[in-house]
Amino acid sequence: MKLRSLTAIALAVASTGCANIQEQTGLDNKTVSAAGGAAIGCVGGALLAKITGQNAAAGCAVGAVAGGLIGFEKARQEEIAAAMQAQQEAIAALGPLPSGVRIKAEPVKTVPVMVTDKASKQTKAVDSFESFDLDIPLSMKGTPGYDKAISSLSAFAVKKADERGSSNVERAMTAADARANKFVPETNVAKTPKGNPVTVTKVINNATQKGVERVTVRVRKLDPTEVS
């Protein structure tokens, strides 16, 4: 069996092992995927080696490489999915919209991060969450739904600050809308309960659609990293 084929099957075995590790350790999905991927891969690789008649030690090595990389990539995919969910939760928080009012959610933006496997020295570019935008109609300001939506986005920013080390929330509107809504540009930095900074910036941006407040949640970019 070729290395590529064995690795592909090892990934399938590894993906079923995460749940057992999570149950036994109580760790969250991202921690299990990133930190435990190599261990899961090793077990899966050794098992596959036994089934296919290959050397168990070699199988473990193949599985460890696959597990480490796939674990990191899985964590990034979960993070992107969580960002999409955060957008939808903010939209849902607004509640029923007045007739003719629409919410615009821009696609989640990603950036590649280079990840290197320590054992094989294989390097791969993995897409990671960078930011998302949500345009909230200014006609919703002052409503309970508006406050809930902003709180929901803020809670997501706090969570990402603790996972990434920092996050930014930018609130933007046109100059004309800013005057009408007494919107004053400013920057404030708050700390999460864990001590990580969340920077909230209010800006004038005439590229923003008239009649909306654009809320952007952005996280610190991941540094190139190694997995084992």
Q: For residues 212 and 151, what is the distance between their CA atoms, to the nearest angstrom?
A: 17
Least confident piece of the model among 48-57, 89-98, 154-163, 191-200? 48-57
Question: Do residues 52 and 130 share a domain?
Answer: no
H-helix segments, 94-222? 144-164, 175-180
User: Of 77, 103, 125, which residue is a domain's last?
Assistant: 77
For the chain, what is the mean pLDDT?
Answer: 79
Quote the pLDDT of residue 99.
Answer: 76
Q: What are phi and psi of 193, to 5 degrees?
A: -55, -25
pLDDT, tens digit (0-9, with 9 covering 90-100), for 133-169: 999 999 889 999 999 999 999 999 999 999 999 999 9
Quote the pLDDT of residue 67.
Answer: 56
Is residue 3 scored above 50 in pLDDT? no
Domain range holding 151? 81-227
Residue 147: how many CB atoms within 10 A of its CB? 14
What's CA 217's distance to the chain center, in Å?
11
Task: Report which of residues 85 and 10 the model is more confident about.
Answer: 85
Question: Do residues 29 and 134 share a domain?
Answer: no
Quote the pLDDT of residue 41.
Answer: 47
Question: Do residues 65 and 173 share a domain?
Answer: no
Least confident piece of the model among 25-29, 45-49, 201-205, 213-217? 25-29
For the chain, how many structural domains are there in total?
2
Question: Do residues 124 and 51 share a domain?
Answer: no
Which residue shows structure tokens 């999570």?
22
pTM comes to 0.70
User: Of 49, 77, 105, which residue is a domain's last?
Assistant: 77
Task: Report which of residues 138 and 43 the model is more confident about.
Answer: 138
Question: Do residues 11 and 42 share a domain?
Answer: yes
Question: Do residues 85 and 69 share a domain?
Answer: no
Is residue 70 very low, low, confident or very high in pLDDT (cuts 50, 70, 90)? confident
Q: Per DSSP, which regions of 138-228 are E strands?
A: 167-173, 186-191, 197-204, 212-219, 225-227
Question: Do residues 195 and 129 share a domain?
Answer: yes
Question: Do residues 194 and 87 share a domain?
Answer: yes
Question: Do residues 140 and 197 share a domain?
Answer: yes
User: Of 77, 105, 128, which residue is a domain's last?
Assistant: 77
Is residue 40 very low, low, confident or very high in pLDDT (cuts 50, 70, 90)? very low
Question: Do residues 69 and 87 share a domain?
Answer: no
What value does the mean pLDDT take over residues 38-55?
46
Question: Do residues 115 and 170 share a domain?
Answer: yes
Quote the pLDDT of residue 23.
Answer: 46
Nearest-CA neighbor of 172 among 199, 193, 150, 201? Answer: 201
The pairing of beta strand 104-105 with beta strand 167-173? unpaired
Question: 196 and 165 in contact (C-beta within 8 Å)?
Answer: yes
Question: Do residues 105 and 148 share a domain?
Answer: yes
